[in-house]
Amino acid sequence: MASALFTPGKLGSLTLPNRLIRSATQDPFGQRDGTCAPEQVALYQEIAQSGVGAIITAYSYISPEARSTGIQVGFATQEQRNSQKKVLDAVHAAGGRLILQLMHAGMNVFLPEKRVEGGKLLAPTGGMTAPNEMTTTELAQADLDKIRADFVDAAKAAKALGFDGVQLHCAHGYLLSQFLDPNSNQRTDSYGGSAENRFRFPGECLTAIREAVGQDYPILVKVNTNCAGEADAAYAQDILYFCRQFEALGADGIELSGYNWLGLGKKKVPTFYLDRAKEIRKAVSLPLILVGGVRKLEEMDAILGAGIDFISASRPFICQPDFYQHLEKGEESPCIGCTKCLGNIWSKEGRRCVKHEIPEGFPKT
């Protein structure tokens, strides 16, 4: 019996030829000015040529102050948008579909100038210690208004340039997930406390984007299905509420991830979040996309058989840009989930994956 993975599916008005999506992956080809390097154009074209259903871009910051790493690609300036258009054109030329992931790093911003005396690190909650050891300053209403407007501006630009959709990044410890997560959102105003209040700002951003791009333009959301510590027991119910609200506000699909994907990958846990995804499936009717620890076709069939509509994968595509074609042949991914592709293996060894050969001239001295 043929796998359901190779059958078409829809995300709003967007029809995909199969059920596999390349999930957003930080590629080592962003330049210091936030533009895409030529290597990124070539990589995305290669992935698209393999026949994968769609590609979600590396996370792209919506404003200069929203950046997460020094090599992250942006979508804030016209120069950055022009460089991403080159990637888009290459994907379309290869017959693929490209969805732009939009994000704001929140307390995880990478801005050296913020470290000078008097600098402020804006976050949902003030007085917290951020990963860069700065103390956070609570976002005021004017800050929230600007961030919401930046998301809208980026989404409108993505539609105008011809991207096949956008994805609102509400996962992995960035700003919108910081609002959803009770560990990072300890506000006492209408944006904190209950699940309804914690959802308020991500919901405002989604609503504003939908109003700006119209009803037929595909909007996806990526969200954590879990959170750290004792709060996760309550979060198991909160995520059901969040997903119902995403659906009510016009999202065309939800990609389900989690805060602990890195650790689960190192432990080689398969299908990280399937149990939570099954509960979410009961709560909503819009398409669901599951990411995390999926390597084998039989695992994908089990996920699809559980009512999840699409599979997304990241590291298998780093190991094999033509991962989809290997699945068509019945082959397993050689990816071992070591996560070294997320470190500095590229700069040290000139390769993205430990399964790749080290080019001549590396390692650098």
Average pLDDT value for the chain: 92
What average pLDDT score do residues 98-116 get?
Answer: 80
158-190 pLDDT, tens digit each: 999 999 999 999 999 999 999 999 999 999 999
CA dist 227 and 50 (Å) reads 35
Residue among 331, 309, 330 nearest 319 (CA): 331
Helices (H), 295-355: 297-305, 315-319, 323-328, 345-349
Which amino acid is it at 321?
A: P
Annotation marks residue 174 as catalytic: yes
CA dist 64 and 76 (Å) reads 7
Kindly indicate the confidence band of residue 116, based on its pLDDT and cuts at 50, 70 and 90: very low
CA dist 222 and 306 (Å) reads 20
CA dist 262 and 188 (Å) reads 31
- Choosing from 61, 174, 273, 324, which is the catalytic residue? 174
- pLDDT of residue 114 exceeding 70, the answer is no
Q: Is 149 exposed, middle or buried (0-12, 13-18, 19+ CB in 10 A)?
A: middle
CA dist 80 and 168 (Å) reads 18
What average pLDDT score do residues 278-307 get?
Answer: 96
pLDDT at res. 110? 75
pLDDT at res. 313? 95
User: With a threshold of 0.85, does the pTM exceed it?
Assistant: yes
